[in-house]
Amino acid sequence: MKKTVCELFAGVGGFRIGLNASSQDWNFVWANQYEPSRKSQHAFECYIKHFGNNKNHVNMDIAQIDKKDIPEHNLLVGGFPCQDYSVARTGAKGIQGKKGVLWWEINEVLKEKKPPFVLLENVDRLLKSPSKQRGRDFGVMLGCFNLLGYSVEWRVINAAEYGFPQKRRRVFIFAFRNDTEYAKNIEDDKLKHWMHNVGFFQSQFPIEDSDSSNKDIKNIDFDYNDLVDISDNFSCKFMNSGVMSNGKIYTEKTKPKYNGRYTTLGDVLERKVDNKFYLNGALDEWNYMKGSKRIERVSKEGHKYIFSEGTIAFPDPIDRPSRTMLTSESSKNRSTHIIQDPETNKLRKITPTEAERLNGFPDNWTNTGMSQKFRYFCMGNALVVGLVSKMGEELNTIFANEK
């Protein structure tokens, strides 16, 4: 099978870098990146600087694109926002997804192009959203895949637990059409066996054998009439790993099994860093932001409550993987990483290059004319490309076995 890829919500190209590292045979036939709330399209400009400016690299709202115009492809990839996926019936008794939600654009691509394989990435809270109906949103996603003839496997992966220098936890969703050669290996009554032995994630991201006393295991009959039925009535405590095939769901809380070398924040630090990254003046504000606190506040409704938060290490230890980077990295706030430089012993922020290294991007990948602040923002949004490289290795095998 030809290894053709369509990349949605491409950002600065994390999926593409990762897959290309696993094989040079991946042919990216179309990519879309668009920031609706920004005049400057810095992420897209970064993408085309590295991968070329052509008609198949599109800087346009995906909702405005006719899905028929997207080239045929065998793998659809993308990292998309976690939003409200609810659906309702229209006056004509059709089904309408919540307007403006990007999942429904992915669903339209799936309907139109029917790619054999799909690899998506999202924040792990997707499995629990919304708070008032836990698991509904992911249930709607699974319902869409099921109706379109796909099976799905998912896994929450903390990059640090498989040797990468950042504690970045994301859910990866691998879907495969039920008429592929790959799908012939799955048996609806042996979903646990699939997940633990032959599934998509197991070879590159092994997990511990299941403990018979594990109470965090569920077998679910996904028996719903349509997506509205799921949206209105479905709730489930999805675990960090699971698989769905032909209306059957198996989900289990799993533990990683890794025997390799662990990479630390200290392993990615630059030497001889510019003075502008060092902290100047009193550290009282930093100490306060990083410290634990209990503060009485008043809600909009006039109710008093206690806001509390724990301590964050100050400075951040460099002998272990870093905390998760957020889009606000480098600003004066609680989540920004502050380290004690091993050469000067002075406190400083991490540099944009160090932020890129924490996600596995090449040095200065985002140094394409965007502001320093936006370079950090891009890395706060990005995935760990090394995880995609490992998934690419498994995809190489899968594609080699397809007709």
For residues 375 and 356, give the distance between their C-alpha atoms in angstroms, rounded to a whole number: 9
Contact 232, 225 (CB under 8 A): no
- Catalytic amino acids? 82
Longest dimension (CA), the chain: 69
229-268 per-position pLDDT tens digit: 999 999 999 999 999 999 999 999 999 999 999 999 999 9
The residue ranges of every structural domain in the chain are 4-259+384-400, 265-381
Long-range contacts of 222-229 (CB under 8 A, 24+ apart): 222/142, 222/143, 222/146, 222/247, 222/248, 222/249, 223/247, 224/143, 226/95, 226/143, 226/147, 227/87, 227/95, 227/140, 227/143, 227/144, 227/147, 228/87, 228/88, 228/89, 228/95
CATH architecture of 4-259+384-400: 3-Layer(aba) Sandwich (3.40)
Question: Residue 291, by phi and psi: left (phi above 0), alpha (psi -120 to 50) or beta?
Answer: beta
Grouped pLDDT means (10 residues each) for the chain, 403 residues: 97 98 97 90 97 97 96 96 72 62 93 98 93 91 95 98 98 98 94 95 93 77 87 92 95 94 97 95 90 87 85 96 96 95 97 98 97 96 97 98 92
Residue 286 DSSP symbol: H
- The pLDDT assigned to 141 comes to 94
State which fold the 265-381 domain adopts. DNA Methylase; Chain A, domain 2 (3.90.120)
pLDDT at 97: 64
Write the DSSP symbol of residue 251. E
Distance of CA 128 to the CA centre of its chain: 15
pLDDT digit string, tens, across residues 328-352: 999 999 999 999 999 999 999 999 9
d(Cα 378, Cα 272) in Å, to the nearest integer?
Answer: 24
Helix (H, G, I), strand (E, B) or coil at 354: helix
- Cα 184 from chain centroid? 27
